[in-house]
Amino acid sequence: SLNENAVRTASQAHPRPADITYTYGTAGFRADAEVLDSVMFRVGLLAALRSKKLGGKTIGVMVTASHNPEKDNGVKLVDPMGEMLHSSWEAYATLLANALSDDALIARLKEVVQTAEIDLSKPAKVVYGYDTRPSCRTLVRAVVDGLSAFDVEQVNAGLVTTPQLHYLTRCLNTEGTPDAYGEPTIEGYYKKLANAYTTLAKGRHLLPALTVDCANGVGAPKLKEFVKVIGQDILPVIPVRDHINLAGQLNLNCGADYVKTQQRAPKNVDLVPWQRYCSFDGDADRIVFYYADGEGTFHLLDGDKIAGLAAGFIMDLVKDAGLSVKVGVVQTAYANGASTKYLTEVLDVPVTCVPTGVKHLHHAAESYDIGVYFEANGHGTVLFSPSTLTTIRTHTPSTPSQSAALDNLRALLELINQTVGDALSDMLLVETVLLHRQWTPAQWDAAYSDFPNRLVKVLVQDRHAFTTTDAERKVEKPEGLQAKIDEAVKDVVGGRSFVRPSGTEDCVRVYAEAATRETADQLANKVAYVVF
């Protein structure tokens, strides 16, 4: 049964601020680090319960606030196969975080134990990690206090990227089984990616070095560790924005989120025309590429462009290997309309549109033999179904060129982090395709031109008053709003616009796209006005 005394004593050291309501949303808990101590402690408790519920399987806990400012922090739970916490447990997280007193917390713990039918006598194991934020040190201690109240076997992964923590979680749960995902160490992660990329790069003419903006975050030391393993001669990269010990620099005027939302290079970076650049976000689970042309004009190669590049390459490999395996792409409503058109009309690949949030994309991608999913902001990966894995691993090629394509597909299985989007792994995927095609960023970019678009935030009284349908492309409530949006879009050439409440910020987002920059901006403003 529950050791109430242990929980109460531990909880007294992590009092909850009275005036805040916490919500476990798409990005877990995220807030100013100052108000997160009690939340971290309670997430430790919940991780213990989740592990017990799953008979002692290892649960992951990642302390990070991704692309948010340095003063923020956050925490997410990772389920055993490296996927996001099952959505049915998000409510338990919110319930525990908001208990007002130690007694209320104990009452709610009992409630969760009963509702979720948890056998407390089962063992529990948790692996935890954290990013470079200065607040991590004390917040991680709070998580550990929560775990310790339940006598959990603990693995401290230390400073890691979010996708590394997902990788470790899956490895720990599959070790010694036929589904073993890899060695459950960071060294094992590097070796797996390095071996795969070295195989894929073999005999190819080296590309000029890639400049990597690490957002002054955890991606910087991790990229450098990786380059030591693989060697600069195989992967020539130049890490920049790698100041993880300079206060206040994390995600500041750099990183994938800055580049994507501002549609420009990191501040004070002069792009050398036609050279390749990319940016990670603060926890290295997102990546976007970019370059400048001869006039110095900035060109973004975002998640949509990566999806197109990856899908095209994988489809070619599948064909060359003589396999009959279906590739599909999953996007959200934020995908540029030009990318959807390119995928369906040029690549002739099926496209599914789902609501925002990795769990929706991941889930939809699982229904394809090979599912490529990317959010426009650069979060994404490629999933191979179990039967496709078997096909690729066991197929006997009948020609040397089939054999070569098959070898490349097999290496891709190892290269791609199938637990979650991973900036390092996705970077290597893009580099592989560019290497094989011998493409410059401009040649990659030539697939299609993005329709001009604008994303704006609208601060409203109550964002929960907004509900959507049709993968967020239509507003249901407030009533009558969709008709007004339709009216605004009606006469705009190439116009498309939709409105949805953010899952991570207290605002409503308005997206608009049109044939010209000016009309896209006008449409966004018009729709923002009717929302407000």
* Minimum CB distance to ligand NG1 smaller for 381 or for 388: 381
- Catalytically annotated residue among 66, 279, 339, 497: 66
Instruction: Report which residue type is found at 479.
Output: E
66 lies in the site for Zn ion, by CB under 5 A? yes
Q: Which residue is nearest to Zn ion (CB)?
A: 66
Q: Minimum distance between the CB of residue 356 and ligand NG1, rounded to whole angstroms?
A: 5
281 lies in the site for Zn ion, by CB under 5 A? yes
Q: Is 202 exposed, middle or buried (0-12, 13-18, 19+ CB in 10 A)?
A: exposed
- Show the CA angle centred on residue 37, arms to residues 36 and 43, nearest 5°: 85
Question: Which entry of Zn ion, ligand NG1, none binds 422, CB below 5 to 8 A by partner kind?
Answer: none
Instruction: Report the candidate in 284, 206, 293 with the shortest Cα–Cα distance to residue 251.
Output: 284
23 lies in the site for ligand NG1, by CB under 6 A? no
379 lies in the site for ligand NG1, by CB under 6 A? yes
* Minimum CB distance to Zn ion smaller for 64 or for 340: 64
CA separation, residue 318 to residues 245, 313, 412, 447 (Å): 45, 9, 12, 20
Q: Minimum distance between the CB of residue 504 and ligand NG1, rounded to whole angstroms?
A: 4
Instruction: Report which residue type is found at 524.
Output: A
SS3 category, 124: coil
Question: Which entry of Zn ion, ligand NG1, none binds 504, CB below 5 to 8 A by partner kind?
Answer: ligand NG1
The structure tokens listed for 7 are: 């929980």
β 467-469/380-384 pair status: unpaired
- Show the CA angle centred on residue 84, arms to residues 66 and 318, nearest 5°: 100
**Distance (Å, whole) CA 130 – CA 353:** 32
* Minimum CB distance to Zn ion smaller for 283 or for 426: 283
Q: Give the count of beta carbons closer than 10 Å to the beta carbon of residue 117.
A: 7
- Exactly one of 509, 519, 523, 531 binds ligand NG1 (CB under 6 A); that residue is 509
**Distance (Å, whole) CA 357 – CA 503:** 8
Residue in this structure with the two tokens 């408790």, named with its chain if needed: 45
Q: Check if 66 is active-site.
A: yes
Q: Would you say 311 and 327 are in contact if contact means Cβ atoms under 8 Å apart?
A: yes
Q: Minimum distance between the CB of residue 286 and ligand NG1, rounded to whole angstroms?
A: 7
Non-local (6+) Cβ contacts of 448 within 8 A are 308, 338, 339, 341, 342, 346
133 lies in the site for ligand NG1, by CB under 6 A? no
502 lies in the site for ligand NG1, by CB under 6 A? yes
Instruction: Report the candidate in 38, 35, 33 with the shortest Cα–Cα distance to residue 12.
Output: 38
* Minimum CB distance to ligand NG1 smaller for 41 or for 130: 130
- Exactly one of 27, 126, 193, 512 binds ligand NG1 (CB under 6 A); that residue is 27
505 lies in the site for ligand NG1, by CB under 6 A? yes
> Count of alpha carbons within 13 Å of 452, Cβ hemisphere only?
15
Beta strands in 67-117 (DSSP E): 72-78
Q: Would you say 83 and 419 are in contact if contact means Cβ atoms under 8 Å apart?
A: yes
Question: Which entry of Zn ion, ligand NG1, none binds 197, CB below 5 to 8 A by partner kind?
Answer: none
Question: Which entry of ligand NG1, Zn ion, none binds 52, CB below 5 to 8 A by partner kind?
Answer: none
Residues 423-462 contacting ligand NG1, CB under 6 A: none
Kindly indicate which of the ranges 119-127, 159-167, 264-272, 504-512 contains the residues binding ligand NG1, using the contact rule CB under 6 A.
Answer: 504-512
- Exactly one of 2, 4, 26, 525 binds ligand NG1 (CB under 6 A); that residue is 26
SS3 category, 512: strand
According to DSSP, residue 277 is labeled E
Q: Minimum distance between the CB of residue 37 and ligand NG1, rounded to whole angstroms?
A: 22
Window 355-374: contact mask with ligand NG1 (x via CB under 6 A): -x------------------
How many chain residues interact with ligand NG1 (CB under 6 A)? Answer: 13
**Distance (Å, whole) CA 43 – CA 29:** 9
The structure tokens listed for 226 are: 């990786």
Residues 284-303 contacting Zn ion, CB under 5 A: 285
Q: Minimum distance between the CB of residue 261 and ligand NG1, rounded to whole angstroms?
A: 8
Question: Which entry of Zn ion, ligand NG1, none binds 283, CB below 5 to 8 A by partner kind?
Answer: Zn ion
381 lies in the site for ligand NG1, by CB under 6 A? no
Query: Which positions lie near ligand NG1, rule CB under 6 A?
Result: 26-27, 66, 334, 356, 375, 377, 379, 502-505, 509
Q: Would you name the residues annotated as active-site residues?
A: 66
Query: Which positions lie near Zn ion, rule CB under 5 A?
Result: 66, 281, 283, 285
